[in-house]
Amino acid sequence: SQIKQVEFVKSSSKPRDCPKDDRPEFAIVGRSNVGKSSLINALVRKKEFALTSKKPGKTQLINHFLINKSWYLVDLPGYGFAVASEAARTDWTSFTKGYFLNRETLVAVLLLVDASIPPQKIDLDCANWLGRNNIPMTFVFTKCDKMKASKGKRPDENIRAFQELLRKYYKEPPPWIMTSSMTGLGRDELLLHMSQLRYH
Ligand code: GDP
């Protein structure tokens, strides 16, 4: 399940410009600042490989990485900038919707959730939207190494609270994995999980 080779294929500004969908792929999404670039770089063991533009207002791009010449890892734009307007949010949804609903080879969405902060409505909204549209997802909790903030809760407490909220919507909650790009926690587990889903 290890990544032996990674090749950047292309950045697409529209879902229909994506590479031909002839290989299994996993899309990575999450709130801006969730640690998406760090996780991608940790997965492929390269520094500054993830290309996602971070500033609001920058062109939103879908970045395809070909892994071991056999499957795609796809970096989607982050959502929920602190300053995001309603318009920017609608923009994200309409941009990614076309991708999610039409990408035949999408195996699962890796939905990144920051374990160092309490559950965020925008993450639950995203999960619910994917769930309603029957798009398989795995929750990848990020920053699990972080010690509790002065008044905050520990990552495991935040994760439990998030799962509690999910139980309202799912009889069987989607799979989840705890990760840290700082310590490497969960990296192998995530790679193994993806290989199991690919060969399922
Ligand atoms: P992105 O906007 O989702 O691509 O997020 P980045 O990967 O740029 O990370 C956002 C911030 O969170 C940066 O300051 C990172 O150093 C920090 N960060 C990312 N991953 C981790 C992690 O696993 N642990 C800790 N403690 N910080 C992290």
Question: Going by CA atoms, what residue is nearest to atom 25 of ligand 1?
Answer: 143
Q: How confident is the model at residue 4 (pLDDT cuts 50, 70, 90)?
A: very high
**Could you report the predicted ipTM of this complex, rounded to two decimals?**
0.99
pLDDT over 80 (residue 86): no
Query: What pTM was estimated for this model as a whole?
Result: 0.92
Range list of β-strands (E), the chain: 6-12, 25-30, 62-67, 71-75, 106-114, 137-142, 176-178
Work out the mean pLDDT of the chain and round it to a whole number.
88
pLDDT at 165: 93
Question: Going by CA atoms, what residue is nearest to atom 15 of ligand 1?
Answer: 35
Closest CA to 76 of 31, 28, 11, 10: 28
pLDDT over 50 (residue 158): yes
Q: Which ligand 1 atom minimizes the distance to the CA of 185?
A: 23
Q: Which ligand 1 atom minimizes the distance to the CA of 36?
A: 3
pLDDT at 180: 97
Q: Is the dihedral of CA 37, 123, 96, 108 positive or negative?
A: positive
Question: Going by CA atoms, what residue is nearest to atom 27 of ligand 1?
Answer: 143
Residue 63 Cβ < 6 Å to ligand 1: no
pLDDT over 70 (residue 177): yes
Residue 23 Cβ < 6 Å to ligand 1: no
